[in-house]
A and B are shown apart, each in its own frame.
Chain A
Amino acid sequence: MSDLYEVSVTVNGTVYQRSVEPRLLLSDFLRHELGLTGTHVGCEHGVCGACTVLFDGEPVRSCLMFAVQANGHQVSTVEGLGTMEELHPLQQAFWEAHAVQCGFCTPGVLMTLLPFLEENPTPSEEEIREAISGNLCRCTGYQHIVDAVLLAAEKMPSQGDC
Chain B
Amino acid sequence: MKPAPFDYYAPDTIHEALAHLARHGYDAKPLAGGQSLVPVMNFRLAQPSVLVDLNNVSELFFIRPDGDAGLRIGAMTRQAQVEHDALVAERAPLLQDAMPKVAFPQVRSRGTYGGSIAHADPSAELPAVSVALNGRFRLRSQSGERWVPAEEFFVALFTTALEPDELLVEIALPAMPPRSGWSFMEVSRRHHDFAMAGVAAVVALDGKDLCQQARLVFFSVGDGPMYARQAEETLVGQAPTPEAIRAAAEMAATADIDPGSDIHASAEFRRHLARVLAGRALEEAFGRASDANNK
**Partner-B contacts on A (CB < 8 A):** 1-3, 5, 21-23, 25, 28, 44-46, 49, 52, 55, 58-61, 63-66, 68-69, 112, 116, 129-131, 133-134
Contact = CB atoms under 8 A, between A and B. Distances in A.
B191 A23 contact: no
| Minimum-distance CB pairs A-B, first 8 | A134-B104, A22-B8, A45-B39, A133-B191, A58-B109, A44-B1, A64-B38, A23-B3
A5 B5 CA distance: 13
A23 B37 CA distance: 13
B6 A58 contact: no
Given A2-B7, A21-B5, A23-B4, A133 B38 contact: no
27 contacts: A2-B5, A2-B7, A2-B8, A21-B5, A23-B2, A23-B3, A23-B6, A25-B2, A44-B42, A45-B43, A46-B39, A49-B106, A55-B109, A58-B80, A59-B106, A60-B110, A61-B106, A64-B34, A64-B35, A68-B8, A68-B53, A69-B10, A112-B106, A116-B105, A130-B192, A133-B105, A134-B104
Q: What does DSSP make chain A's interface, helix, strand, loop or mixed?
A: mixed
A112 B104 CA distance: 11
Contacts of B192: 130, 133-134
Given A45-B43, A55-B109, A116-B105, 6 more contacts: A2-B7, A23-B2, A23-B5, A55-B110, A60-B109, A69-B53
Contact of A49 (B1, B38, B104): B104
A82 B105 CA distance: 24
Contact of B110 (A1, A61, A130, A133): A61
Interface string B51-73: 10101000000000000000000
A65 B31 CA distance: 10
Interface residues of B, number: 31
Contacts of A1: 5
Given A21-B5, A23-B4, A44-B1, A65 B106 contact: no
Contacts of B34: 64-66, 69
Contacts of A65: 34, 38, 110
Nearest to B41: A23
Contacts of A25: 2-3, 38, 42
Contacts of A21: 5
B9 to A, nearest CB: 9
Contacts of B35: 46, 61, 64
B105 A134 contact: yes
Contacts of A45: 1, 39, 42-43
B110 A68 contact: no
B267 interface: no
A133 B4 CA distance: 30
Given A45-B39, A65-B38, A52 B106 contact: yes
A131 B5 contact: no
Contacts of B1: 44-45
A5 B7 CA distance: 11
B190 interface: yes
B42 A63 contact: yes
A21 to B, nearest CB: 7
B210 interface: no
A59 B43 contact: no
B103 interface: yes
Contacts of B103: 134
Contacts of A130: 100, 191-192
Contacts of A134: 103-107, 192
Contacts of A46: 35, 38-39, 107
B53 A59 contact: no
A98 B80 CA distance: 31
Contacts of B190: 133
Contacts of A60: 106, 109-110
